[in-house]
Structure 1
């Protein structure tokens, strides 16, 4: 299942390479590349948003709408990453390596369904961000901070689209198939 808010820009070759990885290696790659990117970039987006709100919040309905959306997206992603890293991905690693792991959730499909639900929630926020920013197109009169925020937000959302696409179309289906063997 891919995000409705955008299309992955990962090449077919890259997707094939990711699909060929062992599940535990793919999970580690997602953490190293996408989760760390969110942790590094999320606070900067919040900072830029707050700066925009202070400078333009009284005059710009766009900024008044955008900043809470940025905050909501980062606030939603933070516990999501934790759940994947501390609960779901260790269970996937255990499945992939044949190591017995303790879990309270039964079949691996149960937490995956929750992650898919949370991916859809992130999707809704990204759709709202795309709408309010006119697909990340800063107004002509936008200051440097505004332009920087839109550029970084565009990159962030594309990375999130790619990240969720890999989880939803490769990691999760393969994990469920392995659990069902």
Structure 2
């Protein structure tokens, strides 16, 4: 096996070429979307992760990778901006809106029922609703204003290029804010570790929060590391 990455490879480039590596980075609390423009060795040091072990994890997973996963990311690397934007809206925005709505009552219920014994759930409740508000406002703005502006950059019809570039920079800041909320949720839940007395709803909430984190990171990765760099 010819492993194509080194300790100096950028985290975002590893994920672009090898999407499944995002699982390894997520497990090691390494930000591959908002902070992806970082060499692997720097990211490992900053997160107190053993570099040799991290590379071994990546190598092991690389050996097991499925060709279709890599091909999917290559498709987006070669796609035009409209195709990527349409994919983001249908693959991430619509399911995100649905999941945030359907998960809300479960987060509320678990906080009310178990919050006395597990006070971290009260903070999870606060963070989830903060995340929900920010993401819904963010995706609405993207669809109504930001994405149409980016498409004007694509076809050359934009009237103010600097405005469009500033808007993408602002979107990245909003992505950073959402990422920080997700990292705090992961931290205070000890990587979504379930207590002995966790009921079915408790388990469901932790599993769906972790899935939401993964989906959001891939969503942001497509924008921050594939779409926006074409113009910034």
Matched with 1:161 is 217
Distance 1:5 1:129, change over 3 A: farther
Matched with 2:43 is none
Distance 1:122 1:161, change over 3 A: same
Q: Tell me by how many angstroms 1:65 deviates.
A: 1.4
Q: Does residue 1:15 correspond to 2:73, yes or no?
A: yes
Q: Tell me by how many angstroms 1:62 deviates.
A: 1.7
Distance 1:53 1:114, change over 3 A: same
Q: Tell me by how many angstroms 1:5 deviates.
A: 5.4
Q: Report the Cα distance in structure 1 between the residues aligned to 2:69 and 2:172, rounded to whole angstroms.
A: 23
How high is the TM-score relative to the length of structure 1?
0.86
Q: Does residue 1:117 correspond to 2:173, yes or no?
A: yes
Q: Tell me by how many angstroms 1:45 deviates.
A: 2.3
Q: Report the Cα distance in structure 1 between the residues aligned to 2:194 and 2:104, rounded to whole angstroms.
A: 17
Q: Tell me by how many angstroms 1:135 deviates.
A: 1.2
Distance 1:102 1:87, change over 3 A: farther
CA offsets, 1:77-134, max 9 Å, x none? 1111011111111112222234x3567x844210011011111101110110101111
Distance 1:55 1:12, change over 3 A: same
Matched with 2:228 is 172
> Unaligned 5+ residue runs, structure 2?
1-10, 13-25, 34-67
Q: Does residue 1:81 correspond to 2:139, yes or no?
A: yes
Q: Report the Cα distance in structure 1 between the residues aligned to 2:102 and 2:76, rounded to whole angstroms.
A: 29
Larger relative contact order, structure 1 or 2 (CA cutoff 8 Å, min sep 6): 1
Matched with 2:92 is 34
Conserved? CA contact 1:23–1:175, under 8 Å: no
Matched with 2:204 is 148
Q: Report the Cα distance in structure 2 between the residues aligned to 1:122 and 1:175, rounded to whole angstroms.
A: 23
Matched with 2:185 is 129
Matched with 1:108 is 164
Conserved? CA contact 2:103–2:205, under 8 Å: yes
Q: Tell me by how many angstroms 1:6 deviates.
A: 4.5
Conserved? CA contact 2:111–2:125, under 8 Å: yes
How high is the TM-score relative to the length of structure 2?
0.68
Task: Compute the RMSD of aligned alpha carbons.
Answer: 2.3
Conserved? CA contact 2:153–2:164, under 8 Å: no
CA offsets, 1:54-88, max 9 Å, x none? 21122221211111111111111111101111111
